[in-house]
Structure 1
Amino acid sequence: MTRTRRPEALIALALLAPFLLTYAVLFVWPTAQLVALTFTKAPLIGAGDWVGFGNYERLWKDRLFWTATWNTLYFVLLTVIPSTLLGLAIALGVNRLKGWAQSLMLAAFFLPYILPVSVVYRIWSWLLDGEFGLLQVPIAALMGENVPVFRVIPLFIPTVALVTVWWLVGFNVLLFIAGLRNISAEIYEAAALDGATRGQMFRRITWPLIWPITVLVATIQLILQLKIFDQIYLFAQGGRTDATLSMVGLIYRSAFQKNQGGYGATVALVLFLLIVAVSVLQYQLLRARGQR
């Protein structure tokens, strides 16, 4: 038995070796270098002086870091849950359609997702332009005057969150549609024969069976939105960028604009640990909720 298992183990290691080597070179080694860089006062490229925990002390006292952290978490709150629930609601509606109507609606909701962020920025900056934007007509009717939403600080993050949900919800719809199609129609037919209403079918059949997809969508969106940068950077051009800065934006400013590689690496490490902690916590909570 031992002699048989030994060649199998060697074959398994040989098959895993390319992946493990690639993983070590592309992830483990750069991560170790990043951690080491946080203890130095280094430029973006090149060695720097050892400062110990100096970068972490500076991070703790940096008002801009806490502003960027709050903006990032606030953005996550405004996007992850709404985009997940909206994606599920749209998928339930699209799944009821048949034939070309279903294909057309699915394509309509998925089309924004394939657009690059620069195109999304152009579309919405034009629609919400403070002077001639088409959406300023209903805004003016409601507020009494045009409102340049991307220049008003309290409205900036919610507006960018709204644009982001519009942009990415099609991906969530696609995942939910795939999950709904895996639910056998015979289950619904049996429930209908027993006199179950649509609401009861959703609560007792659809929701429990679609829950793993919901966990997947929410986790993907959480990781994606914690790394928000492109939309905020583009829409904040010419505005008060300090008040709208995200954590990735702070990394970009520190490392690439101010050439403070050590401090930028420190912010990046904190963001990495935050993503890991929040993602694992959310996944475990959602999975535990689904197992009840």
Structure 2
Amino acid sequence: MIRNHRREVVAAYLFILPFVLSYGVLFFWPTLQMIYLSFTDAPLIGPGQWIGLENYIEMFDDRRFWTAVRNTSYFVALTVIPNTLIGLAIAMMVSRLKGWQQSVILAMFFLPYILPVSVVYRIWNWMFNVQFGIMQYPLTWIFGEPTPVFRVQWMFMPTVAFVTIWWTCGFNILLFLAGLRSIPSDIYEAAALDNANRWTIFRRITWPLIWPVTALVLTIQLILQLKIFDQVYLFVQGGRPDPSMVMVQYIYNMAFQRNEGGYAAAIAVALFAIVIVFSVLQFQLLRSRGEK
């Protein structure tokens, strides 16, 4: 028995060894290098001098850094909860369909998710085009004239958030639909025998049982939207980037455009810490609420 146990342990270590090696080479070691780089004045490529906490001190006094933090936080507020609620609402509607109807509707909502960001940018840049974009019809009715939404500062971030929700909502729908299908039908049948209405069924049955999936979706959305870059970078082309700059965009600007690799690494470490802290706190709070 002892020999068999040892063989099982050795086999287990052999199976997990490729993952541990790939994780160490592709994530852990680059993370340590990034942290070390943040304490130097190194350019993007090449060594630099050790300067201690100077990059972090400069970062906290940097007006553009705090602008990027505010814009990223604003984008998170515009997308995380609305995207989750919309995904849940659509999943509940899709779950009521049967057969090919459910498959077609689900495919319509999921297809945008598989599009690359460049295609999403082209589609919506064309639809919001001031001269011939179809979205200019409701905008003209609201504002009285065609409006370049990606050139108006207060409209830029909500518009990009709207496009992001349209683009990524399909994945949330799939997760919620899987959670809804895991709820036993016997519970709904018992509620129907008690003459419970739809709101009572949702509040007393569906929402509590779907809560673990909701916590997962909220955590995934928080992590993804804190790292927002592609949409903002593409839609801001031709406009003023500074007022709409997000954190990953600022890292890109400092590293690849200004060749300040050490300072960019310090900002990346700050973003890394923010993502870990907020995602862990949110997930723990949501899980504790679900347990109650």
Q: TM-score, normalised by structure 2?
A: 0.96
Which residue matches 1:256? 256
Give the letter aligned to residue 106 of structure 1. Answer: L
Q: Which deviations, in whole Å up to 9, do the C-alpha atoms of 1:213-244 show, x marking residues without a partner?
A: 11111111111111100000000001010011
The answer for the alignment partner of 2:199 in structure 1 is 199
Partner of 2:35: 35
* Deviation, structure 1 residue 6: 5.0
**Counterpart in 1 of 2:88?**
88
- Matched positions, count: 292
- Aligned partners of 1:104 and 1:5: how far apart in 2? 51
Matched position secondary structure for 1:50:
coil
Shift of 1:11: 3.9
Superposed, which structure 2 residues align to 1:1-292 within 5 Å? 6=6, 8-292=8-292
Cα displacement (A) at 1:120: 0.8
SS of residue matched to 1:49? coil
Task: Determine the C-alpha separation between the residues in 2 that align with 1:21 and 1:111.
Answer: 35
Letter in 1 for 2:35: V
Measured after TM superposition, the shift of residue 24 of structure 1 is: 1.6
Cα deviation for residue 7 of structure 1 reads 5.0
Shift of 1:146: 1.3
Cα 1:5–1:66 change in 2 (3 A) is same
Change over 3 Å in CA distance of 1:15–1:114 after alignment to 2? closer
- Give the SS at the match of 1:186: helix
Q: Which runs of 5+ in 1 are unaligned?
A: none
The DSSP-based 3-state class of the residue aligned with 1:140 is helix
Letter of the 2:127 counterpart: L
Distance between the aligned counterparts of 2:141 and 2:271, measured in 1? 41
Q: Deviations over 1:75-116 (max 9, x none)?
A: 011000000000000000111111111111111111111111
Shift of 1:13: 3.0
**d(CA) in 1 for partners of 2:21, 2:174:** 34
Q: Distance in 1 between matches of 2:114 and 2:287?
A: 30
1:144 Cα shift? 1.1
The alignment yields a C-alpha RMSD, in angstroms, of 1.4
Q: Which amino acid is the alignment partner of residue 196 of structure 1? A: A
Give identity over the alignment, percent: 62
Unaligned runs of 5+ in 2: none
More displaced 10-residue stretch of structure 1: 34-43 or 133-142:
133-142
Residue identity matched to 1:254: M
Give the C-alpha shift of residue 136 in structure 1.
Answer: 1.1
Quote the offset at 1:259 in angstroms: 1.0
* CA-CA distance at 1:3 after TM superposition: 7.0
- What is the distance in 2 between the residues matched to 1:111 and 1:30? 34
Name whichever of 86-95 and 107-116 sits farther off.
Answer: 107-116
How far did residue 5 of structure 1 move? 5.2
Secondary structure of the residue aligned to 1:243 is helix
